[in-house]
Structure 1
């Protein structure tokens, strides 16, 4: 193994020396000078274009973010684009002056490598993960450079010789690089397909929101799982041993991650039985709010005060949950109040109904009702019931608005609201003196 490694290094070094000697030929030296001039021109052009390009970008308000990101990517590569253009213009001029390919070989070589590097940089933006994008970009840039320099085969043999052999299993640096590149490309394709399909699923009104979430998650799992295993198989990794190893790891993780697995299974059950879906208004314990998203492990609930709670899926399955908008959005709210015995109860009921109906969010299609619930110690007790259709806008605020309407209506019509009163009586002074004299 060591002898083979040194042989590969020697071949690579000899190839590099050969390329260096070729560059020092007189016909190549002036081409190097032309490249230096192209670099200077490209630097000057980029310094002149970038301020104008920045000013133009500031005028593009309201554009989609993906367009602005691509424009920013182009701005960062203005120098390379200008350099590539100048190199190919110089190569074309040299072809007109001297038809021999050797007179422009270096210019065309550098121009081709520059175009390849430019295209790789643009294509790598499709990879979302920052670390994976950098790895893919640098790997492709190095490969493109070595390929056009004619030393790709020597470099491949060198990387393949740096390996670990365990039985029939051969893991080399070349295999790792190929696997990373293949998985990155397949993951990018899987993400594009899943995004396109997910948008179509979400746009289909015939599918319920919970089933849309379930279908999208199943599609993502299948696509990304297939991309991972196809990428490994593509570079020759034996998946048989991987399957046995993953089974053993799965048994161990099953015991250690029971709660996580329980939440995952509970999330699937929630999506299947459609008991909870995005947009529903629910209350669990002291938490009241509407559902933002259904995750694989938890449900995101946003309350009226802006707090976002992450409720484990298992709690929604095993605990008591009030879904205010499960079958429909109609919610009935009850308000208790009392008036004096001197007030006509028929008039009180009529005024209370009119007061509730005057509030904006109270439904007129389901008019409010008011009933006497009993005769208390100091008041006649009533219950006022009304319906709303927008519980996500809050319940406390609508109760407060109805109470204010009752207060204004009762004040305007002389209806009194009783409250506890106490009387303090002072005993007669003579009686107090008589009692004191009677003491022995």
Structure 2
């Protein structure tokens, strides 16, 4: 690419000639008056925007029960209040002047009104792009584009950007093509993501579709829409897709080797959604992590623990590793507690008291009667295992174990059941009188 090539020089010269001609036209008396009027309208809009903005903010804060989209629209209107007021005042001025005098006397004010109206519209429609950085770039490019369009500089500016290009064989890539491709692709991707969120929200309210299928449909729809957006955006910008066949093939091979883990996680995520092994809301244990599944992502699974920590576990770990799903087929979970009592206590009474004590805990299921069995005759105690069922593992396991242990303690204390603990007995033996005195050892240097 040669920055001083004749095409670039000619395009830059044409743009400069257009700007110079426009500048000379601004020196005409009636246009200078219009520029002063535009400046006055801007000062008026700036002055009126402050008190009106404060009133609008207070009014929005009093709107209790309004949906979020209405509140966001009101906030966006308040943020664009200055340019909206300027456009309103400018159109009113244009209407008055065209009723009293010739249209040429209000031509520049009308251009300023159209630019301000377009700026306000861009500010509203750009909210479709959720990424703040991309939204700001697209907004600035759109503001510059509409300004050049209404001032009449768009064609020479486009010719200048199109003249800045590079050529690969028969393929020509210009700055204008790249800019158009980026803008169209970003807008289409943003629209596709918004549409995907709307469809996902509708699916989430459908009780006939399982959560795993809802997530799967949402992910497939999102991938398809984004892929179509990229292809349509590149095609609409003028890219010849056949010229990228070899390049994209080589790039795909390189990415395949470099992104094995990412691809593995993506495919594992699809497998998880297809076989319904886990779904949002399931209580799982993987390694030392115990919690419930908050979200199924394209690359990872979000697991929230009882202490509020959120673990992002790669999908591959759920496919290749061992996972305990406490609520896969149903929500019933059996818990075992081990304890021991003294050999002096009646085993039948101990078992009965343990079962009755566990049933005093609200989370223990009475319809699945707890059982208590002797498991071993230990060195210091008779060892038992108490087994009971719960149906709400999402509420925690350690806390219900603690409640049952506390109920056992209180029941055993009331009924005289002792819980043995390790004891050590030391006996001092007296030596016979005729035994020799103990030897005394001395250490010499």
Q: Superposition pairs for residues 235-246 of structure 1, below 5 Å?
A: 235-246=237-248
Deviations along 1:124-154, one digit per CA (max 9) or x if unpaired, are 1111122322222122212212222222222
Q: Indicate whether 1:407 and 2:386 are aligned.
A: no
1:31-88 deviation per Cα after TM superposition (whole angstroms, max 9, x unaligned):
2222222122112111222232333344456655544443332222211111111111
SS at match of 1:290: strand
| Distance across 1 between alignment mates of 2:209 and 2:218 | 12
Q: Measure the CA separation in 1 of the matches of 2:234 and 2:61.
A: 45
Rounded Cα–Cα distance in structure 1 between residues aligned with 2:265 and 2:13:
57
Give the 3-state SS of the residue equivalent to 1:311 in structure 2.
strand
Say whether the 8 Å CA contact 1:139–1:177 is kept in structure 2: no
| Residue of structure 2 aligned with 1:181, choices 175, 178, 183 | 183
Is the alpha carbon distance of 1:347 and 1:270 closer, same or farther for their aligned partners in structure 2, counting shifts above 3 Å? same
Q: Residue by residue, what CA displacement relative to the aligned partner does 1:346-365 show, whole Å, maximum 9, x if unpaired?
A: 22222111100000111122
How big is each residue's C-alpha offset from its partner over 1:100-139, in whole Å with a ceiling of 9 and x where there is no partner?
Answer: 2112212212111111111111111111122322222122
- Equivalent residue runs for 1:260-409 within 5 Å: 260-409=262-411
Whole-angstrom CA distance in 1 between matches of 2:83 and 2:49: 9
Residues 20-419 of structure 1 correspond to what in structure 2 (within 5 A)? 20-60=23-63, 64-98=67-101, 100-419=102-421
For 1:211 and 1:129, locate their aligned partners in 2 and report how far apart those are by CA, in whole Å: 27
Contact 1:270 1:276 in 2 (8 A): yes
CA RMSD after TM alignment: 2.1
TM-score (structure 2 length as normaliser): 0.92
CA distance in 1, matches of 2:255, 2:182: 26
The 8 Å contact of residues 97 and 103 in structure 2, kept in 1 or not, is answered as no
Worse-matched range after superposition: 167-176 or 47-56: 47-56
2:313 match: secondary structure: strand
> Separation in 2 of the partners of 1:437 and 1:106?
124
**Unpaired runs of at least 5, structure 2:** 440-445
Alignment partner of 1:282: what SS?
strand
Contact 1:136 1:180 in 2 (8 A): no
Q: Distance in 2 between matches of 1:342 and 1:62?
A: 67
2:442 is aligned to none
Count the aligned residue pairs: 436
The 8 Å contact of residues 286 and 323 in structure 2, kept in 1 or not, is answered as yes
- Corresponding residue of 2:12: 9
Aligned-partner SS, 2:125:
helix
Over 3 Å counting, the alpha-carbon distance change for 1:221 and 1:61 in structure 2 is same
Shift in Å, 1:279: 1.3
Moved over 4 A (4+): 60-66
For residues 3 and 426 of structure 1, the distance between their equivalents in structure 2, rounded to whole angstroms, comes to: 112
CA contact (8 A) 1:372 1:380 kept: yes
Distance in 2, Cα, partners of 1:212 & 1:33: 59
Change (3 A) 1:30 1:243: same
The answer to which of 28-37 and 345-354 deviates more is 28-37
**Cα distance in 2 between the residues matched to 1:312 and 1:165:** 42
In structure 1, stretches of 5+ residues that fail to align are none
Once residues 319 and 19 of structure 1 are traced to their aligned partners in structure 2, the CA distance between those partners, rounded to angstroms, is 70
Q: Would you say the 8 A contact 2:171–2:243 is kept in 1? A: no
